[in-house]
Every structure is written in C-alpha cells, then in structure tokens.
Amino acid sequence: MPAGRLSRNDPAVRRVLHAWRRLTSSPGSARVGSGAPTLVACSGGADSTALALVLAAGGARIVLGHVVHDLRPGAQAEADRDAVAALARHLGVGFCEGLAAARAAGGNLEAGARRLRYAVLRGLAAEQGMGFVATAHHAGDQLESVLMGLLRGAGPRGLAGMPARRLLRGPAPAVRLIRPMLRLEADEPRRLCRVAGLAWREDETNLDVSRLRSAVRHQVVPALEAVRPGAARRAAMSATLLRDAAAVVRAVAGALPGNAGPPQPVAELGRNFVGWRLAREDMRAARGIVVGEAVRLAARRLGLGLDSLGADAVEPVVRAARDVATEPRRFGLGRGGGLVVLVTAREVVIAAERRGERAGPGPGGPR
C-alpha cells in the first residue's frame, strides 16, 4: 500500500465507502450505486482528512473544497488552506477554495458562519459540476447534536440530529449535502490518519468550552462514553429512528383539516396576511406534538424558517390551542414575531404577512 493511502479492507473504510455509495444513489433506489462525483468539505482537521483518504482509497472522483473563514487569524487560516491543498496534491485530486466572511455578515457569528460555509461549499460543488458535498460529521458529532437538542427541550425532529443527506438550498443545479461518516466512532478518523501516516491541523477554537458544543464534546461526551462505551454509535442509531418518528408527526400535522393547499388571505390579522385556518376542535383532539408541528410546518411553508421556533416559544401556543378557554389570544413567534397565531373560540389561525409587504395591525391586537 503506498504511503499516505488506506486499504479498502479496513472495516471503517468499507463502512464509509458503502455509506457514500448509498447516499449518492438515487433516493428510494433498492440498489447501492457505484458512487457519484463528490466535493469533500475539507478543513484540514483529522475528520475531514480521514474522509478524503477513505474516498480516495475507494477510487471516488473527488475534489477537496476548503472554506477560508475570517474567524481565525490570517496566518492560521492560510496554513489550513495550504495543508488541504497539499493533501489534494498528495492524493492526486482537485482542490478549490472559497471565502466565508462571517464577521462582515453580522448577526449570530457561529450560526452565520455555518450558513455561509454551506453556501460557499454549494457554490464550489456547482462550479466543479458535482451534485454532492460530503462532510466528515461522525457519530460523536451526532451524539453532541442529540444532547444539545435535549438541552433545548426539543421533540423528535430536534433530537434527530443531523440528517445523513439533505438538499442544499440554492439555484439550479441541485446540490446535496451528505454525511457518510455518521456511523463512525469519534476516534476512528484519527486512527485512519495515523494508519496513513498523515498529520492533520488542529483548530484551537474547538477547545473553547465556553461554547455549548465544545463543552458537550469535552466535558459530557467523554463521561457518557466512560459509563457506556459505544454511546455515540448508539445515539446515532437513535437519531435515525427519531428522524423517522419526526416524519410521521409531520405527516399527521400536514393532514389536519384546513392545513392543506396554499395559504389564503386572513383579513382579521391585516390586509396582507395569509395563512391557514384549523378547527379548534381538531387542535384539542390532536396530540400536543402534532399541534406544535403544525405551527412549525406553517412557518416553513411561509418561508420564515424555524431557527427561533423552539419548544419554549411554541408551547404556549400549543396549550392555548388545546385548552377550553374561548377568549381570543394572539401570539407572535419567530424573528420579530413574524409568524402570528390567533386562537379563537372556534379556530386556530396561523399566518404571516406576504414577504415584502407591510400592513397595519388587524383587529386581533397590536403587533
């Protein structure tokens, strides 16, 4: 085996290659394909370096894509980029890079950097004519996501962690994000790098335990693994089951009478408001988790996003929709209260203003 290469006979290599082939196959296909051209999101760390090594060992057509962030000192960011470019040369594969200026974008720095990173990777993949972006998230990362969901009081969707495959939003052509290492134990990427005899870069910000994910990674996950070895792998399995459960809840919420079809005008909230009207008796008969999902589903269909619709925000609406009180109550949810829920004696109205339009308050109360 040449220096810096991995054997396809390594069990971890086989698992990741099989997952990559499955995730790049047509959705719903009964057969696992041979794998499609893939942009590997590579930071230079152990996880993404191992993913590049595995896919190269499997003969995949890959390009290493690196995102230069403005969150780190310039010299460190350039050294990371140069390390990934050197890895690409070593493997005999392509290399491309893009810039994510998170500080200039403002807002929540960490969340903004994540959104920009995926947008840049999507653009790089499209430029390379590749329909997939592979990231190196593993079972340890999935366990962290599940634990963080628990701390938020999340339901099945929030506890489902990261999906193995999802569409990256943007213009045509379609690009999908895949995570072929989600069932790989957290220590396996470093082992694969050592087997290949290759060093990796360390990001010092990952050691900052003032950030929730880092605190969970360094203080909570090791304790869980000590109590129950293999906790991360089993949590990844549970996350998959919870994703299926969340899909069932979403289907039930979407099938509620009045929740189908395009949004309709809701004059009592304001001239430009549109949304859906659901019977109060159906809300009382439904499980609380279904009512909450109906609210989130409306937010998604109205293009408002779900970032600030956590359990704490939605729970008061769920209680009001299912109680026996008859007086009108109005709730503003999401950024700036953009999603409005009006609970009356007979209806639960979920609506928002049409984008780009503003109207005065309707009779439901001040906005």
Q: Are residues 221 and 309 in the same domain?
A: no
Q: Count CA within 13 A, CB hemisphere, residue 161.
A: 27
Q: Are residues 55 and 108 in the same domain?
A: yes
pLDDT digits (tens, 9 = 90+) for 80-126: 999 999 999 999 999 999 998 877 666 666 777 888 999 999 999 99
Quote the pLDDT of residue 337.
81
Q: Are residues 51 and 157 in the same domain?
A: yes
Quote the pLDDT of residue 307.
65
**In the predicted structure, residue 230 carries a pLDDT above the cut 50:** yes
**What is the rounded CA–CA span in Å between residue 334 and residue 337?**
5
271 or 190: whose pLDDT is higher?
190
**In the predicted structure, residue 142 carries a pLDDT above the cut 70:** yes
Q: Are residues 136 and 81 in the same domain?
A: yes
**What is the rounded CA–CA span in Å between residue 229 and residue 219?**
15
Range of the domain at 167: 11-246
**What is the rounded CA–CA span in Å between residue 41 and residue 136?**
8
Residue 255 lies in a domain: no
Residue 25 lies in a domain: yes
Q: Are residues 334 and 284 in the same domain?
A: yes
Q: Are residues 241 and 274 in the same domain?
A: no
pLDDT digits (tens, 9 = 90+) for 243-260: 999 999 999 999 999 988
Residue 4 lies in a domain: no
Quote the pLDDT of residue 106.
62
| DSSP character string of 6-61 | --TTSHHHHHHHHHHHHHTSPTT-SS--S---EEEE--SSHHHHHHHHHHHHTT--
Q: Among 216, 246, 276, where does a domain finish? A: 246
pLDDT digits (tens, 9 = 90+) for 30-70: 566 788 999 999 999 999 999 999 999 999 999 999 999 87
Q: Are residues 78 and 224 in the same domain?
A: yes
- Report the 10 Å Cβ neighbour count for 199: 12
Q: How confident is the model at residue 362 (pLDDT cuts 50, 70, 90)?
A: very low
Residue 254 lies in a domain: no
Residue 366 lies in a domain: no
Q: Among 204, 219, 246, where does a domain finish? A: 246
Q: Are residues 138 and 242 in the same domain?
A: yes
Burial of 214 (0-12, 13-18, 19+ CB in 10 A): middle
Q: Which two tokens stand for residue 235?
A: 């949590």
- Report the 10 Å Cβ neighbour count for 59: 11
The single-letter code of the amino acid at 63 is V
How many structural domains does the chain have? Answer: 2
Cα angle 72-78-82, degrees, rounded to a multiple of 5: 140
The single-letter code of the amino acid at 198 is L
Of the candidate ranges 104-118, 153-167, 342-356, the one whose mean pLDDT is the lowest = 104-118
Q: Are residues 90 and 170 in the same domain?
A: yes
Quote the pLDDT of residue 295.
94
Residue 365 lies in a domain: no
Q: Among 246, 275, 292, where does a domain finish? A: 246
Q: Are residues 39 and 95 in the same domain?
A: yes
Q: How confident is the model at residue 365 (pLDDT cuts 50, 70, 90)?
A: very low
**What is the rounded CA–CA span in Å between residue 230 and residue 311?**
29
**What is the rounded CA–CA span in Å between residue 186 and residue 236?**
11
Q: Are residues 180 and 323 in the same domain?
A: no
Residue 2 lies in a domain: no
User: What is the pTM (predicted TM-score) of this model?
Assistant: 0.84
Q: Are residues 76 and 196 in the same domain?
A: yes
Average pLDDT of the chain is 89
**What is the rounded CA–CA span in Å between residue 71 and residue 100?**
9
- Report the 10 Å Cβ neighbour count for 25: 16
Q: What is the mean pLDDT of residues 273-291?
A: 96
Residue 160 lies in a domain: yes
CATH number of residue 293's parent domain: 3.30.465
pLDDT digits (tens, 9 = 90+) for 299-330: 999 988 766 688 888 999 999 999 999 999 99
**What is the rounded CA–CA span in Å between residue 225 and residue 140?**
10
CATH number of residue 178's parent domain: 3.40.50.620
Q: How confident is the model at residue 28 (pLDDT cuts 50, 70, 90)?
A: low
Distance from chain centroid for Cα 158: 10
| Strand residue runs (E) in 169-255 | 175-178
Secondary structure letter of residue 137 according to DSSP: -
Q: What percent of the chain has pLDDT over 70?
A: 92
